Each structure stands twice: as structure tokens, then as C-alpha cells.
Amino acid sequence: MSIKSLNPQNDGLNIIWNDGSFEIFPWLWIRDHSENEKDLHPDSKQRQIDVFTETPQDSVIETVVDQNSKKVVVRWADLTESSVSFNLLKSMAKTSNPNAQALNNDTCWNYPSEIKTFPKMTYDEFMSDKGLKKWLMYIQENGFVLVSEAPASSEATKDLMERMAYVRNSIFGGFSVWDNKLDNPDDTAFTSLAIEPHTDGTYVHDAPGLQTLHCLKKDSVGGENQLVDGLAIAETMRKEYPESFRILSSINIPGRYIKTDTYLEAMRPLFRLNDKGKVIQVSFNNHDRAPFRLDNKMMSQFYEAYKIFHNLANNKSRQFEFMLEPGTVLTFDNWRVLHARASLTGYRQLCGGYHNREDFESRLRLI
Ligand SMILES: [Fe+2]
């Protein structure tokens, strides 16, 4: 879309696009968003202009479309100039983006058979030029990816993770290697017990974005992993149980993590929505749910809604089940996909860690 003409008006600059549509950008907005070197630092891209401390400049003497530089220039009565690029104007043509930060519900899967392209690639493919892009796209589309034929070493797994971004630190450390025979495990994840479908970090304000797991050594029976698309459950509940969906989108559920020297607690709705009602995050961990109470009627409605989600997540037909084996690295979107594990006997050694959500989003923007 390109600019056909400009029509300065009292309340702002009316920009007429070549398809005949138009959009009025207020004068103050244009001055505040000016991309001139003095207004927006060319390297840091940080705003230098401060429209809140200067004398308001709403008197315009000229507006120009610069087709060569693809920008609109506004000359103000005090002889200063502001300029905004076509790209910025185009990206701001709508006052809010309905998909802002939303998960991609075009490709959510209710059953593993609904996964269109199974998200699996080899380690060599991942390490190739276009490998990271494919890996990121698999996660964005399906909520997870498997990288096979990887060296069964913590170094190779760490290299894989750091190709995406730095590994996030947490109470469990950064990149870690652990087994199921710890004397004092900090979490059920470090034992042989079964774990219900859940997302990690319901007790921190900013839950981990991606989680990577790689089984390095295995001399065990059982311990199958399951993945469930929480986004698909959200969209199913939105249609089939709208009142329960509303309750789970609005009631803050606390999560907690208590150890000798740590007491974490945070709260958020099970379904976090953006201002257009699209799902940004699914957050569910029945094991880590902290005590909380609503009035009795609301508490009963909450239990009913939570049970519907719980039962859908525990429905085997919704779960993609597989065994973590040495040489296959699993990464999943912890803001969308729930993970679970069957109990096991024997010995397993695993390694892995977390990435922040914003670093995953940053990579996606750059590809
Ligand atoms: Fe977990």
C-alpha cells in the first residue's frame, strides 16, 4: 500500500492510501513519532523528542510526501520538521492489532492427527543456515519441535539452545543437567513420579517462554512424555463452554513454590487474553496451585470450569505421547503447550533449560 495524497486537517494529517482508504494521524502523534535523527536516535532507535516538555507545535506550514525516501515530512510554524516513514504509517494504520502477542490459533491441534506437518528436523539441519528459522516456525505453528540425531551431550544441547538466545536463569539455575536419583529433589520433575499436564512457572510473574529437554542417558522403563495443545483447549472451551472460558479468562489463579529458602507466588488467569480477546498465554499447574478462595458461588463456578479444562488436558486422545531418547531434543512453547510425564523405574539423566518468551518473539520478528 502506498500513499496517494495528503490532506491536512485541523485535527491531524489525513493520509489517503492508493486503495482509496484513509486514516487521520493526529499532529501530536506525528511529532511524537518523528523518525528524524534528532527525534529518534538512528542507532539505538530510542525516542529523543519529548513532546511533553516542549511548547505544543500544532501549527503546520507544509506537508510533503517524499516518494524517494518513502516518508511524509511535516514542517511546523517554528521551522522544525518531523518525518514519518511510509512503513511506520502502514504498520500503524489500524489503531490496535487484534493479533498483538496472540498465539497462532490457525494451527492449533485438538488431536495429534491434526498436526499438519510433523515438527521434526535433524541436528545438522537445525545447525544449517536456515535451520533456526524452520525450528522457530515449527514451534510457532505447533507449539513444539523435535531435533533428532543430536549428539547425546549437554554441550551439544546447550549449543542448540544458545543458537536461539541465551539460556534463562531461574531458581533451578540456567542450563542444567540432572537425574531422577537426587537425594533432595527441588521439584517433582527431578523424581520418578508421574506429573499431570501442566505449564512451568505458574508461580513466577513471567513464566518461561520455551523449555528444552534432552534425555542424555536412559536405563529405565516408563516415563513417557505427553504434550497437549492448551491453545486448542482454549478455543474448544470458548465455543463449547463460553461461561467457563470467561471464568478461566478472568479469575486470577495463584501458583506457589515453597522450599526452605524460597517462597515464590504469582497469579494470573488460566487463559490470558489480549484486548481483542485472543489468547496470549495458557497457564495451568494443578500441582502448584496455591490456596485461594472466592465467594462460595464463584468458587463453585471456578471448580466447574477448572475441571472442564483439567479433564480436556488429561484426555489421552488429545495428547501427543512419545519417549524422550538420547539424541532427540524436545523444545516446546510453555505459554501454549502443556507437558506431562508418566512415572518411571530405573535411571534417567536429562539436561535442558528455559528461554524467555520475549527472546523467542524477538527471533521470530527478525526472521
Ligand atoms: Fe514441568
Whole-number Å distance, alpha carbon 8 to ligand 1 midpoint, is 56
H or E stretch covering 40: none
Residue 198 CA to ligand 1 centre (angstroms)? 6
* Residue 232, amino acid: A
Q: Between 296-313 and 242-250, two packed helices, what is the crossing angle to 10 degrees?
A: 110
Q: How far apart are CA 143 and CA 269, in angstroms?
A: 20
How does pLDDT run along the chain (367 residues), one tens digit per residue? 678 888 889 889 999 988 888 899 999 999 999 999 999 999 999 999 999 987 766 688 899 988 889 999 999 988 899 999 999 998 888 776 777 788 988 899 999 999 999 999 999 999 999 999 999 999 999 999 999 999 999 999 999 999 999 999 999 999 999 998 777 777 777 788 889 999 999 999 999 999 999 999 999 999 999 999 999 999 999 999 999 999 999 999 999 999 999 999 999 999 999 999 999 999 999 999 999 999 999 999 999 999 999 999 999 999 999 999 999 999 999 999 999 999 999 999 999 999 999 999 999 999 8
Distance of CA 340 from the midpoint of ligand 1 (Å): 7
Are 218 and 348 within 8 A, CB to CB? Answer: yes
pLDDT of residue 82: 95
Check: CB of residue 346 under 8 Å from CB of residue 219: yes
- Cell 526472521: give the residue: 367
How many Å lie between the centroid of ligand 1 and the Cα of residue 338? 8
Cell of 164: 536461539
d(CA 125, ligand 1 centre) in Å: 27
Nearest-angstrom CA–CA distance, 282 and 232:
10
Whole-number Å distance, alpha carbon 217 to ligand 1 midpoint, is: 19
Give the integer Cα–Cα distance in Å for 73 and 66: 7
Q: Which residue has the cell 510473574?
A: 205
Give residue 107 CA to ligand 1 midpoint distance, Å: 23
Ligand 1 centroid vs 291 CA: distance in angstroms? 20
Q: What domains appear along the chain, each with residue ranges and CATH number?
A: 3-91 (3.30.2020.30), 96-367 (3.60.130.10)
Q: Please, which residues have CB less than 5 A from ligand 1, an ion?
A: 200
Cα(201) to centroid(ligand 1), Å:
8
Q: What is the distance in A from the centroid of ligand 1 to the CA of 63? A: 56
Residue 56 DSSP one-character state? P
* pTM score, whole prediction: 0.91
What is the Å distance from ligand 1's center to 238 Cα?
A: 25
**What pLDDT does 313 receive?**
98
DSSP string, 203-224: TSSS--SEEEEEEEEEEEEE--
Cα 100 to Cα 242: distance, rounded to the nearest angstrom: 22
Q: What angle do CA 352, 343, 149 make, to 5 degrees?
A: 40
Distance, CA 344 to ligand 1 centroid (Å)? 16
